[in-house]
Structure 1
Amino acid sequence: MTMQFTATLRLALLALVLPLLWPAVAEAADIHVSAEFVPNAHDPNKRTFDNTTPWSGLCSHPVHNASCVARGVWGIDTAIRGTKTTRGTGNRNDFYFGMPGARRITVTDAAGNNVDMVVRIVGMGYRIAAYNGSEGIELANCTVVLTNFGSAADSAMRLFHRNDDSEGASACWSGAVNNRDDRTIHELDIVYELETPNPLAMEVGIYTGSTTYSIGGAGMDIDLGDGVSLDDDTLTMHFTLEVKHAFRLTFPPGSDRVILSPRGGWSQWADHGRAPSSLEQQLPFNLDTSAPFSVSLQCEIALADGRCGLRNRSTAGAEDVPLEVTLTMPGVRDQTLGRDAVDYPLTVGMAAPKFTVESYVLQRPSRIGFAVRGEAVRQMLDHPGSHYQGVVTLLFDADL
């Protein structure tokens, strides 16, 4: 804008520069936690995820990393910084750490499948400036697992673990720091544990979810006591669980052709005219899987009751006979019904049963059963020399 004065008076102009006042905006910090499941042939009973979160914070320091690993402690730097005033008396004026209880988080994959997991904040860590050798290393209600107490460093460092079960809220504090100057918080870590779902019951994929904690003084999810000033007042944890599965079926050569016959052969019929009660055959295969999978049946000739049919290819007009198809896979069960997959009947039109395993199944001997029984056998014998045939397809879908 251009301003013009046309008066002949000499004016004294006073310029005022007013600061712009913006409403306070809450800051937020983000940390990312990841874990994966990969089936292990050397540990087929494994049902847990491996934490793949990059080390950060105190546990990432080379001198401390081995100690964190040995103690099963997994800490991560929140990247939140600030100051703590330790003046006055009372626990909240010391170094005080109030931690929330366990949280149940829902994680979801790209297909919309949901599973629940639990996160627990089981401890915290910090590094502060102005180290004083007289400051204690103990924290009430917690156990210190890492410290630089007694060193010549110019900062104090602690990493501690809660003494309770971490299910509910709990607080830990130091009882030796009072009437000190403001201390700069150079590092603030959380120590966490994850209770993950059974990956053997999950579809392959990447599952994500998050939860947010408020952090600061009284009333916050993570309560650092009185006299604290931080550059962020919320902490969001983002979770990524990746599930990788293995699945393989191994059939012997010639498995594309199945010939039905009586148990013990045809001698009773050929020599004595005794009709067999059934014509059967078992098709063996080996199963390798860590994944849930479904099996569906397709038939060239589908009968009204859902069974497959065999057709007389030699005699026109002969009735189709029903063929029973069953599936046996030891150590595998129907995920919905809880039924073991032993002589499990399959029919056309049924909802494809979904099967799951309790451990990584390796080279598990399994079989597909085919049988014609009872009156249908006698019906076939009424057409000696005939050739009955049908095509049966089993679809194994592990969604890999």
Structure 2
Amino acid sequence: MKPMNTMRLAALSLALLGGAEVAMASEVTITAEFRPSSTNTRFKNTTPVSGFCKHFSNAAVCQSDESKSIELGIKYTKETVSRDPDTRNRFYVGFPGRQVVDVARAGDSPSQLYFSFASFSAFVRRVSGDGRIPNAGRSVSGGCSELHAAFYSDIRAINLWRINNPDVSSHCYVNSALEGEGVQAVSNVEEFSIGYNLVAPNPLAMRAGIYTGEVNYSVGENGEIALGNMVTNLNTNSLKIKFELDVQHALEVHFPANSDKVILEPPGGWMRWLNGGPAPEKLVRDLPFRITNTGPLSIYMECEHPTGRSCGIQNTRSSEIAALDVAVSLPGGIQLNNGQAVQRFPIPTGRARPLHVDAVTPVFNQPGALHFATAAGEAAEMVKNPGDTYRGNVTVVFDALL
């Protein structure tokens, strides 16, 4: 028998790359990756930090892998009227609720991630008018509250607001009692960034590879990302957020030395038959191995002497072929698609119809076994010609990509 194929597969990551301005469109990418270990079963956000976390690096919201900031490339001019009864005339923003986003490898059924806006920041420079910078008011109303006190000077300010319920549509505006009513200003929003919540799929249920997806939002006075009234010089009317998940699974299968040859014999040995006993019902051999695996796995056989449903071994003298039954047992962390344990489960032949199993929990260097046995009735025929030799190559493939 040929040695088993072993492979180590590439990990899944999800990345968000940064804001890019294209005429009337803004696009950013969020990235994350899965690198398995005995203690890690989750994606790690690998998106480069941009936006408010450059300014509020010590804020708690900037310490979490699950909630980082990203600058969206949205720039505009906003005229504001302090404490205006129409809150859209104040410094105002609105965001949609949580989105379900399909991410998929080429040709695969999609997995789903959940994305929502968790916080908001703007770097605002006043170009005319009096009073405070429009986004510097500490009293925030609507669907937001202050997450960090604004940094501000006479002409510019950067705010950081929490979106109180990221799952639903939220509209937020300054409601500062320190401002007089009706104070007008014109300001440029030079940096528009958000913190986000990203709930990635379970990487243990995803095959190795790159998964991509995207979600699109309209941007404008009344867009899904809403900027309120009296907006001019808006550089984009849409925002595309792209997602890239890189999944790399660990897959290693190790066999003892000299495992490339499997010698079949009756259970308990040949002595009973040599001493005049009945022909053995079967010839068997178990081949132990140790496996590390953290994701879905496909197993199949390739045969030198196919017998239709399985592999065979050939009589070197007569060319007759005896069929084999080949099965696999795997650690408890790897199960059949229906949740059953993989114990002496038959291995199919051919890449087109492999045995699919799932990693319920990561498995590191745990024991498994291949079970070889002659099919029913074959052993009795084989021993009718004492001294004959049967040989054949059976290649068992462990594939995390199928």
C-alpha displacement of 1:326: 0.2
Secondary structure class of the residue paired with 1:92: helix
Q: Give the whole-Å Cα distance in 1 for the aligned partners of 2:170 and 2:312.
A: 67
Q: Is the 8 A contact 1:107 1:207 kept in 2?
A: yes
Match of 2:33 in 1: 36
C-alpha displacement of 1:338: 4.9
Match of 2:10 in 1: none
Comparing 190-199 with 278-287, greater Cα deviation is found at 190-199
Q: Is the 8 A contact 2:282 2:377 kept in 1?
A: no
Residue 100 of structure 2 corresponds to residue 98 of structure 1: no
C-alpha deviations, 1:211-254, integer Å up to 9, x for none?
22111223x10112222333322222122222223322211111
When residues 293 and 81 of structure 1 are mapped into structure 2, their CA distance, relative to the original with a 3 A threshold, is same
When residues 297 and 143 of structure 1 are mapped into structure 2, their CA distance, relative to the original with a 3 A threshold, is same
Give the share of equivalent positions with the same residue, in percent. 32
Aligned residue-pair number: 365
* Unmatched runs of 5 consecutive residues or more in structure 2: 1-21
Secondary structure class of the residue paired with 1:378: helix
C-alpha displacement of 1:121: 1.7
Letter in 1 for 2:169: A
Letter in 2 for 1:347: P
Q: Give the whole-Å Cα distance in 2 for the aligned partners of 1:286 and 1:153.
A: 67
C-alpha displacement of 1:114: 4.0
Match of 2:173 in 1: 173
Q: Is the 8 A contact 1:37 1:243 kept in 2?
A: yes
Select the structure of larger CA radius of gyration. 1
Q: Give the whole-Å Cα distance in 1 for the aligned partners of 2:354 and 2:373.
A: 21
**Which among 364, 369, 372 is matched to residue 370 of structure 1?**
372
Match of 2:359 in 1: 357
- What's the TM-score once normalised by structure 2's chain length? 0.80
C-alpha deviations, 1:175-228, integer Å up to 9, x for none?
22652322332321122222222223333333333222111223x101122223
**Which among 243, 262, 267 is matched to residue 263 of structure 1?**
267
Secondary structure class of the residue paired with 1:212: strand
Q: Which has the higher strand share?
A: 2
**Which among 56, 80, 85 is matched to residue 86 of structure 1?**
80
Q: Is the 8 A contact 1:147 1:157 kept in 2?
A: no
**Which among 205, 208, 214 is matched to residue 209 of structure 2?**
205
Q: Is the 8 A contact 1:324 1:372 kept in 2?
A: yes
CA RMSD of the aligned region, Å? 3.0
- What's the TM-score once normalised by structure 1's chain length? 0.80
Q: Is the 8 A contact 2:118 2:196 kept in 1?
A: yes
Residue 60 of structure 2 corresponds to residue 67 of structure 1: yes
Match of 2:149 in 1: 147
Q: Is the 8 A contact 2:138 2:150 kept in 1?
A: no
Q: Give the whole-Å Cα distance in 2 for the aligned partners of 1:192 and 1:26.
A: 25
Match of 1:221 in 2: 224
5 Å-filtered alignment, 1:250-289, equals 250-271=254-275, 273-289=277-293
Q: Give the whole-Å Cα distance in 2 for the aligned partners of 1:27 and 1:362.
A: 50
Match of 1:4 in 2: none
Q: Give the whole-Å Cα distance in 2 for the aligned partners of 1:153 and 1:51.
A: 37
Q: Give the whole-Å Cα distance in 2 for the aligned partners of 1:123 and 1:91.
A: 19
